[in-house]
Amino acid sequence: MGKYHELAEEIVKNVGGKENILGLVHCITRLRFTLNDEGAAKDEVLKAMEGVVTVMKSGGQYQVVIGNHVPEVFEDVMALIDLKEDGRAGEQKSGKLLDRAIDIVSGIFQPILGIMAACGMLKGLNTLLVALGLYSAQCGGYLIINAAGDALFTFLPLFLGYTAAKKFGLKPMLGLAVGAAMCYPGIQAGTLSAGAEPLYQLLDGTMFASPVYIDFFGIPVISVDYTGTVIPVILAVWFASKCEKFFNKVIPDLVKFFFVPMLTLLAALPVAVLFLGPVATFGSTLISEFTLAVRGFSPLLAGAVVGFTWQILVIFGMHWGFIPVYINNVMTLGYDNVMMPFFACTFATSAVVLAIFFKTKDKKLKEMAVPNFISGIFGVTEPAIYGILLPLKKPFIISCIAGGIGGAFYGHFNFRKFILGGIGIFELPNMMNPDGSMGNIIVAFVGIAVSMTVGFLLTMVLYKDKKEETPAATEKPAAAVREKGEIIKIVSPLKGKLVKLENVKDEAFSSGALGKGAAIEPEEGVLYAPADGTVSALFPTGHAIGITTETGLELLLHVGMDTVQLDGKGFKTLVEAGDTVKQGQKLVEFDMELIQEAGYSLVTPVLVTNFDEFEEIEVAAKEQITAGDVLLDIR
């Protein structure tokens, strides 16, 4: 329960209750509701509430203006209205394709992280107890515990079908049905090929050669083992979400209840099995063939490539492309040395998570780090990847680098595995050379030490909490040392026409409730730093930025009115939150023509939000102003 829980409850109640809320995002100062019926909201009650600045209606949104602490209020409101994924999707969307891809992948895996970690630890515990001789791998107890550990990983498409459906806006039960259908035993490649000759071969003579055992009304089906895979079901659910939206539009309301899901499954599953699944499989094949070619050129380079890219492949489920190579090598050569460099990644990931545990001040991160570290040592790194490393980005890159260095070491020393089976530390017995020599197992332990040391040290040096503020952002030393009568000058961040704050067509700004200052109608699309200081807030869409100056001022620069609705289109941020900036430094570039064509005003308020700590704020007496000219005199 957050500190604004009571305020959040009152806001939800007075916008018409959670059943009246269709969506919620926030910008840097206000909650932006999409309501089913705006007439059900009690405007005057909300305006009179302590903690609410005012209420506005614009662009189809019901806006409750809060102020700088709106992210905390947003969290408490979201906890009450069961819109976690949908609300956050709007908040976090950005024009950066990589960020959006990471958001989608993380959002799909986030709900199953706990059970994923639990299953990984169960499998590791089961193997450990067998290794200690407490019971055998042939007993019923081992089988039942292993079933619990394997359940999620074997039927992963079911779980991902459900979570991907929530992420893509498909009915969750439909997503579950798609995932279950892709795990149906009768269509798995292993089942179809058991004791049967293929009807014919597709793409014969290429790396994509595929036997065909069945067809779909004359169309050949390239068989794939979908259990345990990731990308095929995510693609299938994404396609199903598009189908469902289409059928919802064209099917009469009277029969939508059963016809829409029926037609969605009928359209999505054949496309998934005929096209999406094989395409994902071919991608895996390309990766494994590329790795084999690189190994022929340089074992060290091949090991580095496998070690560096393995975590990325795991994210997209494409690591399965290595499995046939691995199994074939062990069965025909008696060992595998192609896939084995990935072994370094398991321990690199674990070491990065351990370093985060020691470095972070975030209580939730600390709680997640311990089980994810244990799960990683046991060989299951997905919980750490999806739950910690990928959302934080930099630790994920560090784990890839450490894995690459460890992989290069393994490649150079021809690290091998002789027996199939085992994960994490419980793979080590399978790496002992059958001739009794200890060289390979020594390489295994040295590689673990190299990977963990690199990962741990790089994280300790380079990682910082996202919410960790710099002293300039949290302290106000100038307020204590500023001499009486001293004038602080803030220069204009823009070139353009000066507009009185009270003339801004947005009550939240014109009333002065959010801060005192002025506004500028820009004539060029560049926003500059109005003073030396630290970027204390930067909204993902780039339209608003907060700066804490070296003189203790808290400034808010808000480019245009309601421009948050552009979702970052037309904005290019040149700094990040926490950056130290100098007066005149470029902060944001924005496309004036695009913003105006979209129907939004360019008028940009420049506000001192902690104005009550100062005696007087005087605005320059001129009509036109140039970036760098004095805009505000503050005493």
pLDDT digits (tens, 9 = 90+) for 486-507: 788 899 999 999 998 888 888 7
- CA end-to-end distance (rounded Å), the chain: 40
| Confidence (pLDDT) at 325 | 65
Report the distance separating Cα 306 and Cα 456, nearest Å.
20
Sorted by sequence, the CB contacts under 8 Å of residue 249 that are 6+ apart come out as none
* Residue 342: closest CA among 293, 316, 306: 306
Fold annotation for 476-634:
Glucose Permease (Domain IIA) (2.70.70)
- State the average pLDDT over residues 208-224: 90
Report the distance separating Cα 303 and Cα 406, nearest Å.
8
On the question of pLDDT at 111 being above 90, the answer is: no
Residues paired with residue 618 on neighbouring β-strands, in sequence order = 633
Top-confidence range, 34-38, 429-433, 531-535: 531-535
| Confidence (pLDDT) at 599 | 85
Please state which of the four CATH numbers 3.30.499.10, 3.30.1360.60, 3.30.70.920, 3.30.9.10 is assigned to the domain occupying 5-93: 3.30.1360.60
| Confidence (pLDDT) at 89 | 38
Between 179 and 390, the higher pLDDT residue: 179
On the question of pLDDT at 221 being above 70, the answer is: yes
pLDDT in tens, 357-407: 999 988 878 888 888 898 888 877 777 887 788 878 899 999 999 999 999
| Confidence (pLDDT) at 317 | 56
Do β-strands 54-58 and 580-581 pair in parallel, antiparallel, or remain unpaired? unpaired
Neighbours of 39 (CB within 10 A): 9
| Confidence (pLDDT) at 537 | 82
Report the distance separating Cα 235 and Cα 364, nearest Å.
31
| Confidence (pLDDT) at 539 | 79
Between 90 and 580, the higher pLDDT residue: 580
* Residue 189: closest CA among 143, 217, 229, 230: 229
Structure tokens at 34: 């999409």
On the question of pLDDT at 24 being above 90, the answer is: no
Q: Do 227 and 152 form a contact (C-beta atoms < 8 A)? A: no
| Confidence (pLDDT) at 327 | 59
| Confidence (pLDDT) at 98 | 54
The conformation of residue 511, written as its DSSP 8-state character, comes to T
- State the average pLDDT over residues 14-19: 90
Element of type H or E holding 287: helix 277-297
| Residue ranges covered by each domain of the chain | 5-93, 155-297, 298-468, 476-634
Structure tokens at 464: 């910082």
> Is residue 449 helix, strand or coil?
helix
Catalytic residue numbers?
A: 27, 558
pLDDT in tens, 266-294: 999 999 999 998 988 787 677 667 767 77
- What phi and psi values does residue 319 have, to the nearest 5 degrees? -65, -15
Report the distance separating Cα 557 and Cα 364, nearest Å.
32
- State the average pLDDT over residues 210-223: 92
Mean residue pLDDT across the chain: 83
Element of type H or E holding 75: helix 70-81
* Residue 93: closest CA among 81, 103, 79: 103
Given this chain, do its domains 5-93 and 476-634 carry the same CATH topology?
no
Q: How far is CA 331 from the centre of its chain?
A: 39
On the question of pLDDT at 191 being above 70, the answer is: yes
Between 115 and 86, the higher pLDDT residue: 115
- State the average pLDDT over residues 562-574: 85
How many helices and strands in the chain, by DSSP H and E? Answer: 25, 21
Strand order from edge to edge, sheet including 624-625: 580-581, 533-538, 544-549, 554-558, 604-608, 516-522, 496-499, 624-625
| Confidence (pLDDT) at 578 | 80
Where residue 59 falls (left for φ over 0; alpha for ψ -120 to 50; beta otherwise) is left
Q: Which residue has the tokens 């030396």?
A: 532
| Confidence (pLDDT) at 421 | 59
% of the chain with per-residue pLDDT over 70:
86
On the question of pLDDT at 164 being above 80, the answer is: yes
Between 375 and 446, the higher pLDDT residue: 446
On the question of pLDDT at 4 being above 90, the answer is: no
- State the average pLDDT over residues 400-419: 92
Residues paired with residue 33 on neighbouring β-strands, in sequence order = 24, 62
| Confidence (pLDDT) at 606 | 92
pLDDT in tens, 34-79: 888 888 898 888 888 888 877 877 656 788 888 767 778 888 888 8
| Confidence (pLDDT) at 181 | 95
% of the chain with per-residue pLDDT over 90:
32
| Confidence (pLDDT) at 273 | 94
| Confidence (pLDDT) at 87 | 44
- State the average pLDDT over residues 134-150: 90
- State the average pLDDT over residues 430-459: 90
